[in-house]
Amino acid sequence: MKNFLKRFYLIIILLFLYLPIVTLIVLSFNDTKTMGVWKGFTLKWYQDMFSNPQILNAFCNTLFIALLAAVVSTVVGTVACVGIMALSKRQKNAVLQATNIPLLNADIVTAVALLLAFGMFGISLSLGTVVFAHITFCLPYVILNVLPKLRQTGTIHFEAAQDLGATPLYAFMHIVLPDIMPGVFSGFLLAFTMSLDDFIITYFTRGAGINTISTLVYSQVKVGIRPTIFALSTVIFVLVLIVLLLSNFLPEKMEKAREKAEKEGRELTPEQRKKRRTAKRIGAGIVAAAVVAVCVLASPYVGAMAGKGEVIYFYNYGDYIDPDLISAFEAETGISVVMDTFDTNESMYPIIEGGQVSYDLIVAGDYTIEKMIENKLIQPINYDNIPNAANLEPAYMEILASTDPGNQYMIPYTWGTVGILYNKTMIPEGRITSWKDLWDPELAEHGILMMDSLRDTFMVAELILGYDMNTSDPEELQKVVDLLIEQQPLVQAYENDSARDDIITESAGLGMIYSGEYLYCLDENENLDYVIPEEGTNVWFDCFVIPTNAKNKEGAEKFINFMLDAEAGLATFNYLTYPIPNAATMELIDEEIREDENVFPSQETLDRCDRFHYLGKEADQVLASYWKRFRGN
Amino acid sequence: MSNILELQHVSKKFDNDLVLDDLCLEVKENTFMTLLGPSGCGKTTTLRIIGGFTTPDQGCVLFEGKDITNLPPNKRQLNTVFQKYALFPHMTVGENIAFGLKISGKSDEYIRDKIKYALKLVNMDDYANRDVTMLSGGQQQRIAIARAIVNEPKVLLLDEPLGALDLKLRQDMQYELIRLKNELGITFIYVTHDQEEALTMSDTVVVMNQGYIQQMGTPENIYNEPENAFVATFIGDSNILGGIMLRDKLVRILGTDFPCVDTGFGVNKPVDVVIRPEDVILGEAGKGQMDGVVSHLIFKGVHYEMEVQAGGFEWLVQSTSMFPVGQPVSLSVDPFNIQIMNKPESEDEEAVVVDV
């Protein structure tokens, strides 16, 4: 019984530790984009991963940064340890305190401090600043690993070697280093892994177009994580596992052979001796491989630094463009596109406002762009360079002109509406017509999903109450909050990214969703339908804009022109499933979809709709305070 | 015999702590010299200055007449056997021994012969391929010696090399070291706090305390004629008493006049008197120079050790015949066995009693 309990306990612990990783690995072979269901085995996500230049680039970046940071910090840290050992006790303590503080310091503080320091000394952010930052935070870990080992070894072997005629350098390399090698090696591995999974510091210190795996994954939050990321994570997990096994298993095996020989009180056989040599050689091999890998991974950067031609720096939502289009543009024009990604408008805005990183082209949401126009962060676009602008649907351009008179600044990339997605097997077709249906207790039993997004969620209640969706009147907002609180018992969940999965897997019957998600969901579950309620909705646009500090405006305009091509629009539509405001593209889309009023609403429907506007700082704060009242309830 | 090594007016401070103060030392070629003293007396620092691991603040080190004070250790023609052996753990016995030879660029054949020769010298012929971490303490010590001597140093420095060994092994190794020294014909400078070790092996013993040389001489000389109370206490057991030199060859101790053989101290001069416990002769009460009562008795194997209360002083006495506790006895001392010393003149020379 006792044994059973012991084993049971162990199994529970192992489950806790490994179930999430097993889930990840299994899902990376799942033949569907939805997380909840198994639809058969596939390797296509791995294929996708290896053919997606952005992922490969982030993967190479991550490895390059981690290897370089680990190698440099190991060398510098080990040398520092030798110096620390030579200090008097009081000095030694002082230095150790100084090196340990960054270790305990919050990452965010280190990150912001580094960002400020780079800015202060006029160093523009780049791959170099990321590597530098990583070396900085890896150093204490190396010192922490090497110093105890060095202390344990003491100076006696070092002195003995010198006594026998060795120069200090020879003595260090041949006597001290082999002694402290386990510490140096574990310091290297720790630095490597710390660098590998760092997000915050990388995020703050990277230059335009530099993505590591963690920043790439994070920037994809807006559109939801694709299974290619599961595949990538699986590959990384397996890689780390191999490194760990190698580093644990090899020395242990050597130690065992030695212990055995010791017990039996006999010499190592020539065979064991050979094995030990082989193990040593494998160790040396790993180090050599690391160095070679750094060199190989570095070569593209060296090439890039040598200046191989025209470049545009493009700032976009994560996974918000078909990577094949970028390759096609590069092949056609010879201009290379360095794309950097963000997750929300709110996280992108301060970076542009700060001006430390200069981009040539940005994709952003319309009401954020209003704010950028007001603050003069973007410049007018030269339509002479964009003949394909003629393809744009004039009706949409007219809508945009209400905030951007003369369409000077923004060229729409995608657009859409917010509506209600529901399952026809649970709710009869035509039953849903109004936003009020989300307050219907009868429908609540199928599961109602609401967005967890200030403007969108407030909009629903505002439209029901007959208010303007851009209101910031406190009295009206109080009524909006009251109405939303009244709805709370009926709502299954407030969520953004997982809403589509919940509806696909039929764990919820209806919910608020962006129109672009509708086609995506229809692919996975054909029983779904989308409705724009009779009260109307928000029509949103994501647009191309060119920042004031762009260095290659002409290149950016060439890229916009390329994207407005009919075929390119179709590729974008197929990749994102979001409507494209491109009249030429519309003609290429399947008639069945083109006629789908849900995806491409009629002028009549559009007339019922409105758009979010930038309301100014004060109004933003009022809204935020009411949002807090609602979410805090 | 000429001086192979000389220390001239060497001083060394560590963090305001004066470890060596104006130390002068001459080492003759082909001698076995021992630096003896309690821990903290400066003997190890002296050895490290000779080895080149510590630089003196003042003074210089001469090797065969040449100044080597600032020469790094790897350029000096001496080798050291370290206290904890300091064998390189990731090398075999053979590789350890070959280390110095490889650096000086000797041929493989020469190295192979040398390893064989050195291992034979320390009686460990077949150990070349062993792992050093698998050896016992005594074996490691021999390898450390072998590793040092293959480089044919002119002076071999040994820093308490037997400290970590058990008593029996230590005694064996003492004879081994004397044999080695005679076979190699080189100078040994040996550091220890063990007076027995020093007396057994050395040609010359240098007794050190608080950074000063207290006395230097042959083992017999040091033992029989300690120059001050420190040396007397540190080397063997002794009774040290205050006395007054009444005139040449007569000293008053605890109110009793004892004839002695020392002269030249003047008249009515206060002195220190050393009497070794084995030199005190016990007899029937009233028949010696002084009377007393036995207060403690311990059996030590070769002899009995007793404490005798006499004249207000507790005498330490070693004798092969036993007197039970409480028995009245008489004490007497042969004039040759009374050692007269000047009272210390300065604080620095003050005897410091150290438990060793």
B51 touches chain A (CB under 8 A): yes
Across the range A383-408, mean pLDDT stands at 88
- Shortest Cα distance, chain B CAs vs residue A160, angstroms: 6
The reply to whether CATH 1.10.3720.10 applies to domain A52-236 is yes
Given A159, A261, A262, which is nearest B53 (Cβ)?
A159
Answer whether A161 sits within 8 Å of B88, measured CB to CB: yes
> What pLDDT was estimated at residue A260?
60
> What pLDDT was estimated at residue B177?
87
Q: Residue A326 corresponds to which tokens in the numbers above?
A: 């970028």
- Residues of chain B neighbouring A170 (CB-CB closer than 8 A): 103
> What pLDDT was estimated at residue B355?
36
Q: How far apart are CA B29 and CA B185, in angstroms?
A: 9
Confidence of residue A347 (pLDDT cuts 50, 70, 90): confident
Residue A268, pLDDT > 60, answer no
> What pLDDT was estimated at residue B132?
87
Contact A447, A508 (CB under 8 A): yes
Residue A83, pLDDT > 90, answer no
Burial A314-345 (b: 16+ CB within 10 A, else e): bbbbbbbbbbebbebbeeebebbbbbbbbbeb
CATH of domain B3-224: 3.40.50.300
Looking at residue A488, the DSSP 8-state letter turns out to be G
Residue A303, pLDDT > 50, answer no
Given B73, B104, B148, which is nearest A162 (Cβ)?
B73
Average pLDDT over chain A, rounded to whole?
A: 84
Express each pLDDT in B276-330 by its tens digit: 999 999 998 888 899 999 999 999 888 999 999 998 899 999 999 889 999 999 9
Q: In this predicted complex, what is the ipTM?
A: 0.80
Answer whether A267 sits within 8 Å of B100, measured CB to CB: no
Across the range A268-282, mean pLDDT stands at 59
Answer whether A165 sits within 8 Å of B100, measured CB to CB: yes
A60 touches chain B (CB under 8 A): no
Can you say whether the dihedral through the CA atoms of A106, A109, A111, A113 is positive or negative? Answer: negative
B152 touches chain A (CB under 8 A): no
Across the range A81-102, mean pLDDT stands at 85
Express each pLDDT in A485-510 by its tens digit: 999 999 998 887 778 888 888 888 99
Confidence of residue A271 (pLDDT cuts 50, 70, 90): low
- Residues of chain A neighbouring B72 (CB-CB closer than 8 A): 162, 168
Residue A376, pLDDT > 50, answer yes
Determine the residue among A152, A155, A163 to mutate to test chain B binding: the one whose Cβ has the most chain B Cβ atoms within 10 Å. A163
Answer whether B134 sits within 8 Å of A261, measured CB to CB: yes
- pLDDT < 50 positions in chain B: 347-356
| DSSP string of A242-267, one letter each residue | HHHHHHHHHHHHHHHHHHHHHHTT-P
Express each pLDDT in A9-48 by its tens digit: 888 998 888 888 898 888 888 887 776 678 888 888 888 8
Burial B224-234 (b: 16+ CB within 10 A, else e): bbbbbbbbbbb
Answer whether A157 sits within 8 Å of B103, measured CB to CB: no
Given B73, B89, B90, which is nearest A163 (Cβ)?
B73
Looking at the DSSP assignment, which residues form a beta bridge with residue B63?
B5, B66
Determine the residue among A155, A157, A159, A164 to mutate to test chain B binding: the one whose Cβ has the most chain B Cβ atoms within 10 Å. A164
- Shortest Cα distance, chain A CAs vs residue B349, angstroms: 31
Answer whether A262 sits within 8 Å of B15, measured CB to CB: no
Q: Residue B110 corresponds to which tokens in the numbers above?
A: 């020469």
CATH superfamily of A311-409+541-608: Periplasmic binding protein-like II (3.40.190.10)
Q: How far apart are CA A601 and CA A589, in angstroms?
A: 15
> What pLDDT was estimated at residue A298?
60
Q: What phi, psi does B41 have (nearest 5°)? A: -85, -10
Residue A254, pLDDT > 70, answer no
* pTM summary value: 0.64
Given A159, A165, A179, which is nearest B103 (Cβ)?
A165
Give me the residues of B, 131-150, that contact A with CB < 8 A.
131, 133-134, 147-148
More confident residue, A252 or A170: A170
Nearest Cα residue to A612 out of A545, A541, A553, A550: A541
Which CATH topology does B238-349 take?
OB fold (Dihydrolipoamide Acetyltransferase, E2P) (2.40.50)
Express each pLDDT in B17-47 by its tens digit: 888 888 899 999 889 999 998 888 889 899 9
CATH of domain A417-538+617-631: 3.40.190.10
Express each pLDDT in A523-540 by its tens digit: 888 889 999 999 999 998
Residue A362, pLDDT > 90, answer yes
Chain A residue with the nearest C-alpha to that of B104? A165
Looking at the DSSP assignment, which residues form a beta bridge with residue B251?
B245, B258
> What pLDDT was estimated at residue A436?
92
3-state helix, strand, coil in chain A (%, to 5): 65, 10, 25
Q: How far apart are CA A419 and CA A437, in angstroms?
A: 12
Chain B residue with the nearest C-alpha to that of A180? B90
> What pLDDT was estimated at residue A295?
61
- Residues of chain A neighbouring B86 (CB-CB closer than 8 A): 156-157, 159-160
> What pLDDT was estimated at residue A272?
58
Under DSSP, is residue A350 helix (H, G, I), strand (E, B) or coil?
helix
- Residues of chain B neighbouring A184 (CB-CB closer than 8 A): none
Sort strands A539-547 and A378-379 into parallel, antiparallel or unpaired.
antiparallel
Residue A625, pLDDT > 60, answer yes
Looking at residue A174, the DSSP 8-state letter turns out to be I
- Shortest Cα distance, chain A CAs vs residue B294, angstroms: 51
Across the range A169-177, mean pLDDT stands at 89
B16 touches chain A (CB under 8 A): no
Q: Residue A51 corresponds to which tokens in the numbers above?
A: 């053919």
Q: Counting one residue from A and one from B, how many pairs have CB atoms under 8 Å apart?
A: 68
Q: Residue A575 corresponds to which tokens in the numbers above?
A: 């990749």
Answer whether B129 sits within 8 Å of A170, measured CB to CB: no
More confident residue, A107 or A263: A107
Determine the residue among B74, B78, B189 to mutate to test chain A binding: the one whose Cβ has the most chain A Cβ atoms within 10 Å. B74
| DSSP string of A431-477, one letter each residue | ---SGGGGG-HHHHTT-EEE---HHHHHHHHHHHTT--TT---HHHH
Express each pLDDT in A432-485 by its tens digit: 999 999 999 888 888 899 988 888 899 999 999 999 988 889 999 999 999 999
> What pLDDT was estimated at residue A379?
93
Express each pLDDT in A233-252 by its tens digit: 888 888 778 877 776 766 56
Confidence of residue A387 (pLDDT cuts 50, 70, 90): very high
Q: What is the greatest pairwise CA distance in chain A?
A: 95
Contact B198, B34 (CB under 8 A): yes
Q: Which residue ranges make up each domain of chain B?
A: 3-224, 238-349
Answer whether A166 sits within 8 Å of B103, measured CB to CB: yes
Helix residue ranges per DSSP H, chain B: 43-51, 93-103, 108-121, 137-149, 167-184, 195-201, 219-224, 229-234
